[in-house]
Amino acid sequence: MTIAARVDRPRVSAVSQASGPDTQPLRRRARRRRRLTALAFVAPLIAYLAAFYVYPLYRNLDLSLRDYTVRSFVAGDAPFSGWDNFQKVLDDPTFGPAMRHTMVFTFVSIAFQYVIGLALAVFFNRHFRLAPTLRALFLIPWLLPLIVSASTWSWMLNSESGVVNYFLHFLGVGPVGWLTSPDWALTSVIIANIWIGIPFNLVILYSGLQNIPGELYEAASLDGASAWQQFRRITFPLLRPVSAITLLLGLVYTLKVFDLIWIMTKGGPGDTSSTLATWSYQLGFGTLLPKFGPGAAVGNILILIALVFGLLYIRVQSGQRRQEA
């Protein structure tokens, strides 16, 4: 890398100053060298991506297209089985609930994260005393390791000794079996996930608010617009591009949430809080008799869904950038 870069340099500047028809081949060679230098700088990354992104994904695809057992997983001679694993997964009674839970988990989480995040962003945009400090403290849930948040919430939501049920008792509500009752397990992990996701929404939406010119609000308040009218007519419409980005990114990130659910409920009781992510892991690593093929198939379905929203995100973002330019 070093050598290529050093050799190439002086010639480039020599050539760029020269002109005339005889320097054409020289100039072409200089361009080629510049290209080689650029390549030398990205080559390690490309090799890395090939080995540690493309190859694992290929292995995963291969897993989902073969009939693996534990023995053939080690020996590596599993027979090709085409779409069998996908068919098996789609016919599995767990597929419907897992898909439904994934959607409910994702959309409910995002709706609450976004609304609460936006309300807080508008609130913190008021520039009162301590606002920057408090806003920084709001980042904490997002920075904590997921296992820390998940185990803290597990204990808070404990049916017998959890502090949440204690507060509910104050309000005259009987104890709720948050993590142990099939009716509440999904709600519990959604609550914890909303808590974790609020800071992300707050930070991005707050930075979006910084780009709305203050004069607009001044003019509106001179015209007698109420705070709510200002929000509805100015803040919300002007924040729409940032909102779209926040929601789509949130979607992609929330679809793949695994740790939180796995640590809090393992997808249970039964399958009542299992999503595609936890089900995939359950199949591959959750039992003594791993089903790598179906597990990988579920994983690949999850990638497909994430990519749909991911590509939508890329389209929206590049569209916005073009508009600005």
Candidate residues 118, 284, 291, 294; the one interacting with other proteins per rule CB under 8 A: 284
**236 belongs to the binding site for other proteins (CB under 8 A):** no
Half-sphere exposure of 256 (CA within 13 A, CB side): 14
Candidate residues 69, 72, 81, 152; the one interacting with other proteins per rule CB under 8 A: 152
Cα-based angle 70, 71, 75 (whole degrees, multiple of 5): 120
**Both tokens assigned to 151:** 């185990």
Please list, in sequence order, all residues whose beta carbon lies within 8 angstroms of the beta carbon of residue 262, skipping any fewer than 6 positions away. Answer: 278, 281
**267 belongs to the binding site for other proteins (CB under 8 A):** no
Half-sphere exposure of 260 (CA within 13 A, CB side): 29
Binding to other proteins by CB under 8 A, coded x per residue (else -) over 110-129, reads ----------x--xxxxxxx
Candidate residues 18, 148, 183, 240; the one interacting with other proteins per rule CB under 8 A: 148
Candidate residues 147, 233, 270, 319; the one interacting with other proteins per rule CB under 8 A: 147
| DSSP label of 22 | G
Q: Containing H/E element for 184?
A: none
Binding to other proteins by CB under 8 A, coded x per residue (else -) over 14-33, reads --------------------
Q: How far is the CB of 114 from other proteins (least distance, A)?
A: 13
Please list, in sequence order, all residues whose beta carbon lies within 8 angstroms of the beta carbon of residue 82, skipping any fewer than 6 positions away. Answer: 65
One-letter-per-residue 3-state SS of 261-321 = HHHHCCCCCCCCCCCHHHHHHHHHHCCCCCCHHHHHHHHHHHHHHHHHHHHHHHHHHHHHH
**98 belongs to the binding site for other proteins (CB under 8 A):** no
**140 belongs to the binding site for other proteins (CB under 8 A):** yes
Q: How far is the CB of 247 from other proteins (least distance, A)?
A: 11
Candidate residues 26, 38, 70, 115; the one interacting with other proteins per rule CB under 8 A: 38
Query: According to DSSP H, which parts of 18-94 are helical?
Result: 24-49, 55-64, 70-75, 84-91
* Three-state SS at 130: coil
Return d(Cα 107, Cα 192) in angstroms, integer.
14
**288 belongs to the binding site for other proteins (CB under 8 A):** no
Return d(Cα 230, Cα 235) in angstroms, integer.
7
**Both tokens assigned to 206:** 């707050």
Give the rounded distance of the alpha carbon of 19 from its chain centre. Answer: 52
**322 belongs to the binding site for other proteins (CB under 8 A):** no
The span of 18-26, 37-45, 93-101, 179-187 binding other proteins (CB under 8 A) equals 37-45
40-79: which residues touch other proteins (CB under 8 A)? 41-42, 44-46, 48-49, 52-53, 55-60, 63, 73-74, 76
Candidate residues 255, 265, 274, 291; the one interacting with other proteins per rule CB under 8 A: 255
Candidate residues 99, 234, 245, 316; the one interacting with other proteins per rule CB under 8 A: 245
Q: How far is the CB of 137 from other proteins (least distance, A)?
A: 5
Return d(Cα 308, Cα 318) in angstroms, integer.
16
Cα-based angle 303, 309, 314 (whole degrees, multiple of 5): 110
Q: How far is the CB of 27 from other proteins (least distance, A)?
A: 16
Candidate residues 97, 117, 197, 208; the one interacting with other proteins per rule CB under 8 A: 208
Return d(Cα 63, Cα 292) in angstroms, integer.
7
Return the number of the residue (186 or 242) whose C-beta is nearest other proteins.
242
How many residues touch other proteins (CB under 8 A)?
118
Candidate residues 28, 70, 87, 221; the one interacting with other proteins per rule CB under 8 A: 221
